[in-house]
Structures are given as structure tokens and as C-alpha cells.
Amino acid sequence: MMILKDIAESKIKFLKTVVVSIINLAIGITASIIGPTLLDLQIAINSTLQKTGFIVPVKAFGYLVGCLSGCFLPEKSDRQPYLICCSVMMSVVVALIPLNRTLITLIVNVFFLGLFVGFLDLGVNSFILQLWGKKCAPYIQFATFFYGIGGLSAPLLTEPFLLPIYFEKNGNDSVKHQYTPNDLKLNTPYDALAIFLILAIILFTLIYYFFDDKLDHEKYEETNNENDEMSSKLKTMVIIIHAVLLKLWLGSSATFGVYLTPFAVKSQMNLSKSTGAFMVSLFYGTMTVFKIPAAFLMRFISIRLFIIIELTFSLVSSLILLCFGQYFELALWIATTMMGLGNSSLYAPVIAYVQNYIHLKNYIISIGLVGICLGEFLFQFVVAKFIDQEPAIFIFVSVFCNAAACFVFVLLEFVCRLGRR
């Protein structure tokens, strides 16, 4: 009810939150569109999957650079012009991706895509924090809901335009001998994404121009003295540990979404790309559908218990993958569903948990996002290097990340409780 009261009292703020969440939807599409189209991008540049797969960690590296660049924005500056400019640049870069015909140009293109996505992702979260201050958690959850819708939409958007390619059971890659770049149909989904983003930018710009309300920076910067009892050393530890937790949890989630289709195709089951794309849709769809009941569930149970439930789903899913994921298609479907449940609400609960112990400032959100993109870069780099010859690396990375995330959360709980004594 408090949320409804805040919305009623701040209609323009909520309207801007909705529109910026639509931009976050485009970020979600961008994050998941590379995975289902990776094998077709391989055809476009006439390269191996191992080499083509490096565009994924390159995108994560660009995301890291974008997040770090965003940290230099003045704390009290208006985020809206930056969001508009960055969104325009991202739409241009997205439209150029299927036009690349060499590995070098594709890498450069994807790097700038990651750069603008990183800057924009930081800007969206920072803008919501700037709008709502200490009440930002449910609105960040609202924005991540739209992100999940984007992740769900991307595989469904691309599936009709994927070439029906299959691999031999011995693992030999015959893609470049069957098709040429002229056979590709990737322009349609990528152009549709660019047009959608342009429309969202136009809507956001109109609201910014006609309904510009001056943000109350003094209110935005107000602190809660109850959260200032922890020593500076323990605060630093909490910030670092929470960034590591996000790195493991969300980094592995992004890697799972990107490489699920290549794993399904390259594993011993030799599934089709369409099946892999539908599995990605199931993953993001489960994440998205569960976000709404998760928001209500957090009203009845503690944030700590909610995070434990999410971690348990993720860990059990990884164990199913480890035991059965390479051999049984049903097991892969079940593990994908459970992984989606375990990754449905990650960012907002962790932020809310940390906010219970320390005052949440803009730079803390930035550090968390940097941790996420470091995780994406590291884990996707490892998977990209070995998945062509050893598809099981996809499973090993998932098991490691989720087991380590459980340990790191226990450590975070210990440090936070220590700071309250």
C-alpha cells in the first residue's frame, strides 16, 4: 500500500520510471539476443564457434568500461540527457551487428554495444535511485521485471530467422560449408530491436521535455542514521562482498542465458538451434513470470530467507545439470526452469539486504554493476574458449558459480551481523 501511496503522490516520477523501464526492456533484449544468434553470426563472419564466441566476453568487457565511465558522472547531475544520448548510440550499434563480415569488425561493434549498454544500465539504476532515494528497491525490481521481459522476447524474436543448422555427432562444424552470409536473415530481428529502442527514446524525450520536474537532490542525499553504526572497515567489506556475490550470481546467470543454445547444440544430445532458443525463452520467461509473485513474497518473508530460497534453486539446478544435463533433454528443460526460478529476483533483494546495514549511495550501485560485468566477462570468456571442444565447461562454470555464491552470501551475512554487534 505504501508503494501505491508513493505513486499517487509522485505521478511524474512513476511515469519516468515506467518509460526508463521500457528502455531497460531493450537492454534485456540486447543482453539475450547474442546467444540465440551466435551460430548465425559465425556464418556471417565465416569463422569458428570458438573465435566467434569471444564476442560475448568482449561485450562484457565493453560493459565494464561503460560502467566505469558512468562512475565519473557528477553525483548531482541530471541523468536524463545521458540516458537519451546513450540510447541513441546503442540503437545505431545494434542495427550494425548483422552487417559485419569479419571477426575484427564484429568484435569492435560488439565492444561498443557493451560500452553503451554498460553506461545505460548504470544510468537507469542511478536514475531510479535519484528519483526515489531510499525507496528505490521496489522500483529497481520493477525495472528488472521489464529486463526479464526483454530477455524472454529476444529468443522468440530471433527463432523464426535462424537457419536450420545441425552438427554431426562427432562434433565437426560444417556450418560454413552449408550456408553463406547472403542466406542469413538476422537483419530483421536486429533492426526491429533498434526501431523499438528509438521509439522508447522518443517517448522518454517527450516526457523529459514536457514534464521535467527538478529532482530534489537534498532529499536524494539524505541519510539514515541507523545505518551509519557500522565501522568503515566493515562497510568496505560489505561493499566488496556484495559485489562478489553479484559477480558470481548474475555473472553466471548471464552466461547461462547466452550459452544455453550453443551448449544444447554442441552437447551429446545434438539438439537443434530452435530447441536451444526455446530453452533460452523458458529461462528468461521463468525469470520474468516469477518476478511479480517474488515482489509480493518479499512482503511476507525476510529478504535473507528470500535470497536463501533463490540460491537453493540455482544450486539444485546446477547439480541436475552436472548429473544429467549432457545426456537427457528432459533434465536440461528441468534445470533451465529451476535456474530461471533461482535467478528471477537477484539484484533488488541483494541491494535491499545491503541497504539494511549501510546507507545506499550511488557509488555502491556502481560497484555492484562493475562486479556483475566482471563476472560476465570472466565466466563468458572461459566458456567461449572451451565450449566448442568441451561443451561440459558450460555446466562446470554454473556449478562453481552457484556453489561459490552460497558461500559468499554466508560470509556477507556474517560480516553484516558482526557490524551490528
Secondary structure (DSSP) of 270-335: ---HHHHHHHHHHHHHHHHHHHHHHHHHTTTS-HHHHHHHHHHHHHHHHHHHHHHTTT-HHHHHHH
In the prediction, which pLDDT does 88 show?
94
pLDDT value at 327 more than 80: yes
- Does residue 299 belong to any structural domain of this protein? yes
pLDDT value at 222 more than 80: no
- Does residue 163 belong to any structural domain of this protein? yes
- Does residue 1 belong to any structural domain of this protein? no
Provide the whole-model pTM.
0.71
pLDDT value at 225 more than 90: no
pLDDT value at 171 more than 60: no
Least confident of 52-56, 309-313, 314-318: 52-56
CA separation for the pair 402, 270 (Å, rounded): 26
Choose the most confident range, by mean pLDDT, from 75-89, 180-194, 352-366. Answer: 180-194
Mean pLDDT score across all residues of the chain: 82
Least confident of 48-52, 221-225, 287-291, 353-357: 221-225
pLDDT grade for 284, boundaries at 50, 70 and 90: confident
pLDDT value at 233 more than 70: yes
- Does residue 415 belong to any structural domain of this protein? yes
In the prediction, which pLDDT does 176 show?
43
- Its domain, for residue 284, covers 9-420
In the prediction, which pLDDT does 287 show?
81
Task: Report the Cα 216 to chain-centroid distance in Å.
Answer: 30
Percent of the chain with pLDDT over 70: 86
In the prediction, which pLDDT does 63 show?
81
pLDDT value at 130 more than 90: no
pLDDT value at 318 more than 50: yes
Burial of 37 (0-12, 13-18, 19+ CB in 10 A): buried
- Does residue 4 belong to any structural domain of this protein? no
Task: Report the Cα 20 to chain-centroid distance in Å.
Answer: 16
CA separation for the pair 398, 321 (Å, rounded): 9
pLDDT value at 107 more than 90: yes
pLDDT value at 124 more than 90: no
pLDDT grade for 360, boundaries at 50, 70 and 90: low
The stretch 322-341 carries a mean pLDDT of: 92
- Does residue 315 belong to any structural domain of this protein? yes
In the prediction, which pLDDT does 89 show?
93
Percent of the chain with pLDDT over 90: 29
The stretch 381-410 carries a mean pLDDT of: 90
pLDDT value at 101 more than 70: yes
In the prediction, which pLDDT does 212 show?
65
Residue carrying the nine cell digits 499517487? 8
In the prediction, which pLDDT does 31 show?
77
Cα Rg for the chain, rounded, in angstroms?
21
The stretch 170-185 carries a mean pLDDT of: 64
- Does residue 381 belong to any structural domain of this protein? yes
- Does residue 194 belong to any structural domain of this protein? yes
Task: Count structural domains, the chain.
Answer: 1
CATH code for position 79 = 1.20.1250.20
pLDDT value at 223 more than 50: no
